[in-house]
Amino acid sequence: MPREARALSNRDTIMSAITEESKLDADSQTGGQPVAAPTAQGASEATPTLPLITDGADGGEIEAELQQMEDAANTLQKEGMISETEAAEKREQVARTRKLFRDLPPAERAAIVQRRREIGRELMNRQLSGAAVVQAAVRLNHTRLKPLFEQWWPYLNRMSINLQRFGRSTFGTEDLGVVTAWFEKQVGDLEAYVDEQLSVAQGFREKTESKMHDQGDIVFAPTVTKPSLEIEVEAYSRFSMRVLSLMLKFDKVMDHFDFLVWNGVRDQSDVDEETTRFLRKFHPVGVRGYMTHLRLMTTVRGR
């Protein structure tokens, strides 16, 4: 399938997610079962130099999808594969999407993220019949990683098994290969990044601790006695276990950060910067995983 056509094939999933997001508040009050989409960033068609709307960690992922759809419509029109009317309609859909997110109040954005986390917790409490699982203990000491886990991992976990079961019928053989290759590369890059961070943080801590002992300084060894999250989960695939493992490993990196802050070696703002960098690197995987989960669920519900 040509890249331009592939971009347009994502339109229904993205637009349906956006529709669900705009109805979030009403659905939650009426007992409906909304599926909240990740927040996106948008730019005015008339004034493209305006700052993009973002939740602060999306890295432009959804905006890139929207721009790709707009470019694809233009390309297909030039090649005569769609009419001028069809191309104009698709460009209008992209413009409406951007405007929706640009006008969304910050409080509603926060509610969307909160609702996505609630649905994620519900997913973890539901067992999937016929699925072979591996049980895993999840302990996250640090509060900044709890929202990351709750709003992305449950969807990535469910996506991973549905991609095995329904990926070919949802995407086709060729595009399924593109989807799986993208996730493999992203998670592989994240694993390498977290391994490096852990190695550097641990080595620096050991060097600092040894130096302080040699100087006769008081060395504090802080620990977290009340973790932000401590639960048992069922992982559906090797992929979801890899994602879980890198979250837990970065939590260990933050343990070393705690030591450095307590002993006056690093400032809390330095630690916050490193943590934000990890969250930004993870965000594209969470967003794409969530969108892929929604796409797969349209196939599951249609059976």
Whole-number pLDDT of residue 162: 93
Q: Are residues 220 and 156 in the same domain?
A: yes
Q: Are residues 137 and 108 in the same domain?
A: no
CA 289 – CA 295 distance, rounded (Å): 10
Q: Are residues 287 and 302 in the same domain?
A: yes
State CA 32 to chain mean position distance: 24
Cα–Cα distance list, 18 to 12, 15, 55, 242, 293 (Å): 10, 5, 15, 29, 14
The residue out of 99, 126, 153 marking a domain boundary is 126
Residue-wise pLDDT tens digits, 243-300: 999 999 999 999 999 999 999 999 999 889 999 999 999 998 998 999 899 889 988 8
The residue out of 126, 146, 179 marking a domain boundary is 126
Whole-number pLDDT of residue 20: 41
Whole-number pLDDT of residue 116: 85
Q: Are residues 299 and 175 in the same domain?
A: yes
Whole-number pLDDT of residue 109: 72
Q: Are residues 101 and 159 in the same domain?
A: no
The residue out of 126, 142, 169 marking a domain boundary is 126
Structure-token match 């909304």, residue found: 34
Whole-number pLDDT of residue 7: 47
- For helices 145-171 and 238-262, the axis angle rounded to 10 degrees is 160
Give the number of domains in the chain: 2
Q: Are residues 150 and 274 in the same domain?
A: yes
Q: Which residues of the chain have pLDDT under 70?
A: 1-66, 68-69, 98, 100-102, 303
pTM of the model: 0.70
Q: Are residues 103 and 139 in the same domain?
A: no
Could you tell me the residue range of the domain that residue 212 belongs to?
Answer: 132-303
